[in-house]
Structure 1
């Protein structure tokens, strides 16, 4: 059984799409073998694309009975008001120990900031799942294949700009208008940066997306996100089989 992915050529050619006034979308059809598999965990959630921070925040705040967050690790020293292992804080760990655990493959995401390591462990995601909650992850796109290597398949949702194909307006301008209608505080330059980042993510990780959604308002986008989670959040989802296409 094969799952079809429709990938926009504009997402693979960021520079061309940003400078072009051509409003004809070209689609590339590719396939990945999938099978329906039984899983024993609640799938984590990854959201990428424009306005992802707002959507993630709303999921956690509006439906705490369905969504939770995990506790990351860091090698920096705790601050005065921070408690080891508390929600909203960190697991504070020695540098050598975190490097050792990283080498053992216990983390799916590790970064460095001000000479300290920060990372999210597989066990921290499983701890949220064990409570019957979807773990909402604020991660980069490259975390998705790393999770999949650990046999954890997140529901990965990409938020794409909604195009109305208004006469006399090019694709870039339409995307800027869409973003500024969602967040009126965004400047023109900020919109371009967000669009460029989103297109790079889409070009590199489109084959990892469970679905893509869009909408005219934050409420519409959130409704679509919740629909995707409901559709793919069961105990027997369709997941990549790992087989090669003959």
Structure 2
């Protein structure tokens, strides 16, 4: 190649070879050098492509009626790019669970807009089936209340002027022993505290489509005060946040609407869930 370039250079000086030809010669020379340098990587790629091509040709010689031929033909239609390569360090996680038959009524936690009105209606219309969990009034320090939570005596609490309204484990069990579903009044973050003391509530979330739908709800007994625009917006935004953060705990989602329709759905779901076997992580009991 070197002597050809020298000769061509002499001819170029005499005007016998155009400069474009010299550029093509030089480009061809550099390309051949780069192929030699990259043969460690590119050659492997070409070799892999050649092997795939070989197997495709080999499969075509198989008789279509033979079993092996059909299997190989089926494999040939699968793109190797679509087959994931699993890392050897990856392993599928499994969790052992155990079945629990709930003979006592499970507590019910209702989340979403207008929950107070819904719970009032459930207690009014089905007094032998539902009962609101009483809050114990405690005049104690913040440290004492938090100690009760840590010791699994309290599930949740709300600060009031001069005291705390506390949901205790004892009050929940007292209602359950009366063969009644305890309507909980706790924040969704307290669900895990219930699980830690082997109480597994039925968690229901009421989902309204818009602020307007909440504002339009009326009931002469359980919604005597008209829902304002501000209040409906606050409830809607709060519900969106709850759904985003705690949806993994939801047993079911109920479509918002008239209070009577919501309560009808709750009654059906609670009966259904109560009759189901409950599966919990093994060793949790």
Q: Classify the TM-score, shorter chain.
A: 0.5 to 0.7
1:189 partnered with 2:252: no
When Rg is computed on C-alpha atoms for both structures, the one with the higher figure is: 2
TM-score scaled to structure 1, two decimals?
Answer: 0.66
> Which residue of structure 2 lines up, in the alignment, with residue 105 of structure 1?
152
Task: Confirm or deny: 8 A CA contact 1:70 1:127 kept in the other structure.
Answer: no
Structure 2 stretches of 5 or more lacking a match? 1-94, 219-224
> Which residue of structure 1 lines up, in the alignment, with residue 200 of structure 2?
153
Which of 154, 169, 172 matches 1:122?
Answer: 169
> Which residue of structure 1 lines up, in the alignment, with residue 253 of structure 2?
212
Query: How big is each residue's C-alpha offset from its partner over 1:124-150, in whole Å with a ceiling of 9 and x where there is no partner?
Result: 100000010001112211122211111
Greater strand fraction, Structure 1 or Structure 2: 1
1:51 partnered with 2:105: no
> Which residue of structure 2 lines up, in the alignment, with residue 68 of structure 1?
131
> Which residue of structure 2 lines up, in the alignment, with residue 231 of structure 1?
272
Alpha-carbon distance in 2 for matches of 1:159, 1:110: 23
Alpha-carbon distance in 2 for matches of 1:97, 1:139: 19
Q: C-alpha displacement at 1:193, in angstroms?
A: 0.9
Task: Confirm or deny: 8 A CA contact 2:208 2:257 kept in the other structure.
Answer: no
> Which residue of structure 2 lines up, in the alignment, with residue 38 of structure 1?
101
How many residues align structurally?
A: 183
Query: How big is each residue's C-alpha offset from its partner over 1:93-125, in whole Å with a ceiling of 9 and x where there is no partner?
Result: x65875654442211112322242321111110
Q: What do you get for the CA RMSD once the two structures are aligned?
A: 2.7
**1:218 to 1:125, Cα distance in 2 relative to 1, 3 A:** same
SS of 2:267's equivalent?
Answer: helix
Greater helix fraction, Structure 1 or Structure 2: 2
Structure 1 stretches of 5 or more lacking a match? 1-31, 77-93, 163-174
TM-score scaled to structure 2, two decimals?
Answer: 0.57
**1:219 to 1:69, Cα distance in 2 relative to 1, 3 A:** closer
Task: Confirm or deny: 8 A CA contact 1:44 1:137 kept in the other structure.
Answer: yes
Q: C-alpha displacement at 1:73, in angstroms?
A: 2.0
Is the deviation greater in 150-159 or in 175-184?
175-184
Q: C-alpha displacement at 1:50, in angstroms?
A: 1.1
> Which residue of structure 2 lines up, in the alignment, with residue 18 of structure 1?
none
